[in-house]
Amino acid sequence: MPPMDHTVEATPEGQIELLEGAAKEAARLAKSAPSAERIAFVQGLLDELQGQTAKHIERVMELAHLQAQLEIGERNLIATRDYLNSVLSQTKETVPHGWQALIRSLRFLGARLGDACVQVLRESEGPLEVAQIEGALNAGQYRFRTGTPRREIHAALLRQPRVKRTDDGGWFYTQESGTQGRGYGPRRKGAGEKNANP
């Protein structure tokens, strides 16, 4: 039995059908394939994202480097401050003028926030608002951990059992936790009071 012939007869009608089919396929591919402008636009976005990622990583590394330098510098400054305060407060010789003000300007460096807030309130003659406490801490070179220092202060004050709040939003230090009234340091005995112990 002779093999069947599957070839298409090269008639004008058959050639037209082939040409029409090829044109439709080319049109379909043209619609699905992105244009040169689209390819360039997407590539530009990818390049920009890669560039920003590289800059971000570089800045993170710089920040970590600066934080390490800041930690070391802060510890050295604290050690120098404490040593100078110990030496000058015990000497009987002439000391530089204004050294106590300099020590005071660094007194909250390295301190815990709760302790620093309590110290500010103990030294105050009345209740303080959070903004006033923030100013006193900044004057003592306290370094806040976030960009919202007043939130940090508020949270620290709430954890202090001897710190109370007034009705108008002020904060004050009390003598004992749970007591009423305002205390700004150890209570002094009056002229007619005697020691409890003989």
Give residue 187's pLDDT.
Answer: 37
Q: Which of these ranges, 58-72, 123-137, 181-195, has the smallest mean pLDDT? A: 181-195
Closest CA to 173 of 135, 130, 119: 119
Residue 123: pLDDT band by 50, 70, 90 thresholds? very high
Give residue 175's pLDDT.
Answer: 79
Asked if the model's pLDDT at residue 181 lies above 70, the reply is no
Residue 44: φ, ψ to 5°: -65, -40
Instruction: Give residue-wise pLDDT tens across range 73-93.
Output: 999 999 999 999 998 888 877
Asked if the model's pLDDT at residue 95 lies above 90, the reply is no
Instruction: Give residue-wise pLDDT tens across range 4-23.
Output: 554 445 566 666 666 667 66
- CA–CA distances in Å: residue 127 to residues 49, 91, 130, 161: 52, 37, 10, 16
The fold adopted by the segment(s) 109-173 is Arc Repressor Mutant, subunit A (1.10.10)
Q: Is 169 helix (H, G, I), strand (E, B) or coil?
A: coil
Going from N- to C-terminal start, the domains of the chain cover: 37-90+97-106, 109-173
Give residue 14's pLDDT.
Answer: 61
Find the farthest-apart pair of alpha carbons in the chain and give their distance in angstroms, rounded: 138
Asked if the model's pLDDT at residue 60 lies above 90, the reply is yes
